[in-house]
Amino acid sequence: MPIYSILMTVTTIMVVLAIAHAALSLRGLLEAFSSSFHLGGADGRAYYGDFAKEPYKLKNVIYVINTFMADGLLLWRVWVVWSYNWKVTCAPAIMFLGTMIAEIFTTISLWALKPNESLFTPTVGHWFTSFWSLSLATNVTCTTLIVIRIFRSSLNSASYRAVIAVVIESGALYTLSIVFHMTLYELRANAGQIANDVQTQLAVIGPTLIVVVVGRRMAHPPGAIAPKFATSSYELQTRCRPEAMVVEISEYVETNSHYGEAEGKASVLPQISAESV
């Protein structure tokens, strides 16, 4: 399967999951501020404080799956960029394996939450902390390896600067969102659910931007449409130099106006070139 097809397929699945996550957030919002009042609830805080609600569970499961796919896609990019060198990808692969194990147990602990049970229980908290720490280490390591490889392979070329910028910026955004989410959770702040919503969408930005950059390069290869310009002053002078134009006068006629007779005489003159002007 072509590399671009794999990237496009995984990115599409991640986009669909991100849309489903946003739809569940909207459902929770409507249930908290509409249905709860209709059923006689005091306000929406009681709804948002119950992490065993179905939208919460589904959102957290989607979040874990999307994070798993984002980390796996990042590891796969390292594998491809480094020409399938297992020595380079060994360390990030071990971290990704640990992240996957933590994700599985995090999902199980989230789904086992009982009504009105806190999200900050030790069982959930330990797995969440392990999951975020390993995911953060995997992202930083893989992003660094990709940037180093691209920079080394195109040291004297500016054609890959856009790719490097996309990798660094998207990786930095996602890394900061992980740190922000983990910090809020350790502070036992319910605002971490906002970071959850944001982080799920940010996980899709990196792969999507790379698909866009690669697609643009496939549609418009460098030099395919752009005109060829002079790269030096000598080349510019050579291109702008006019071609020599030869003017030859092979015959002229002398006229004697006094006698009304014309006397013709042919003569070959020296050639005149535009270069001598």
**pLDDT tens, residue by residue, 154-197:** 655 555 666 677 777 667 788 888 888 888 888 888 777 778 88
pTM, rounded to two decimals: 0.67
- pLDDT tens digits, one per residue of 88-125: 999 999 999 999 999 889 888 888 888 878 778 888 88
Name the domain boundary from 176, 193, 219.
219
In a domain, 117, yes or no: yes
Shared domain check, 149 and 100 = yes
Structural domain that includes position 256: 233-276
Contact partners, residue 208, CB within 8 Å, separation at least 6: 11, 15
In a domain, 225, yes or no: no
In a domain, 55, yes or no: yes
Output phi, psi for 210, to 5 deg: -65, -40
CA-to-CA separations, 244 to 20, 169, 237, 247, in angstroms, rounded: 71, 55, 15, 10
Place of tokens 């929406």: 44
Give CA angle at 138 (90, 174), nearest 5°: 150
Output phi, psi for 231, to 5 deg: -105, -5
In a domain, 200, yes or no: yes
CA-to-CA separations, 143 to 112, 138, 274, 275, in angstroms, rounded: 34, 8, 61, 60
Shared domain check, 266 and 154 = no
Residue 93's pLDDT is what? 94
Shared domain check, 239 and 152 = no
> How many domains in the chain?
2
